[in-house]
Amino acid sequence: MTSTSGVGPIIPDYAGANVRGIVPALLGPSAWSVGTLPPWMPKPVVDSEQCVLLVLDGLGWDQFQMHRDLMPTLSTFVGQSIHTVAPTTTATALTSITTGLTPGEHGLVGYRMLLGGDVLNVLRWAVDDKIVRRQKPPSAVQPFDPFLGCAVPVVSMAELENSAFSEAHLRGSTPAGWRASSSIAVTAAAEIAGGERFVYCYYGNVDKIAHERGFGPYYEAELRAADRLISDMLEALPSGTSLMITADHGQVHVGDNIIYPSEDLLHGVTMQSGEGRFRWLHTRPGAQVDVTQTASAEVSDTAWVVTKEQVIDEGWFGPTVAPPVRARLGDVALVARDDVTFHESADSGPYRLICRHGSLTSAEVNVPLMAATA
Same-domain check for residues 147 and 48: yes
Q: How far lies 45's CA from each of 76, 150, 198, 241, in Å? A: 15, 19, 11, 8
Same-domain check for residues 243 and 227: yes
What is the number of other CB atoms lying within 10 angstroms of the CB of residue 32? 18
Percent of all residues in the chain with a pLDDT value above 70, rounded to a whole number: 97
Same-domain check for residues 276 and 245: no
Tens digit of each residue's pLDDT (9 = 90 or more) over 13-29: 999 999 999 999 999 88
Same-domain check for residues 104 and 198: yes
According to DSSP, the β-strands at 332-336 and 278-283 are antiparallel
Same-domain check for residues 147 and 236: yes
Torsion (CA) 13, 17, 19, 23 in degrees, nearest 10: 130
What are the residues facing 114 on neighbouring strands? 119
Q: How far lies 200's CA from each of 36, 154, 191, 261, in Å? A: 21, 5, 10, 40
Contact predicate 19/364, CB 8 Å: no
Q: For residue 176, which of 193, 194, 200, 195 has the smallest C-alpha distance? A: 200
What is the number of other CB atoms lying within 10 angstroms of the CB of residue 46? 18
Q: What is the CATH number of the domain that holds 142?
A: 3.40.720.10
Q: For residue 63, which of 231, 213, 302, 247 has the smallest C-alpha distance? A: 247
Q: For residue 374, which of 260, 237, 268 has the smallest C-alpha distance? A: 237
Q: What is the pLDDT of residue 174?
A: 97
Contact predicate 254/356, CB 8 Å: yes
Tell me the one-letter amino acid at 147.
Answer: F
What are the residues facing 342 on neighbouring strands? 259
Tens digit of each residue's pLDDT (9 = 90 or more) over 212-265: 999 999 999 999 999 999 999 999 999 999 999 999 999 999 999 999 999 999
Tens digit of each residue's pLDDT (9 = 90 or more) over 88-115: 999 999 999 999 999 999 999 999 999 9
Which structural domain range is residue 92 located in?
19-253+359-373
Examine residue 10 and state whether it is found in any structural domain, yes or no: no
Same-domain check for residues 243 and 290: no
Contact predicate 254/215, CB 8 Å: no
Same-domain check for residues 97 and 203: yes
* φ, ψ dihedrals at 5, nearest 5°: -55, 135
Contact predicate 75/96, CB 8 Å: no
Mean pLDDT of the chain, nearest integer:
95
Contact predicate 85/10, CB 8 Å: no
Same-domain check for residues 157 and 248: yes
366: enclosing H helix or E strand = strand 366-373
Q: What is the CATH number of the domain that holds 324?
A: 3.30.1360.180
Same-domain check for residues 135 and 278: no
Tens digit of each residue's pLDDT (9 = 90 or more) over 152-163: 999 999 999 999
Would you place residue 34 in the very low, low, confident or very high pLDDT band (cuts 50, 70, 90)? low
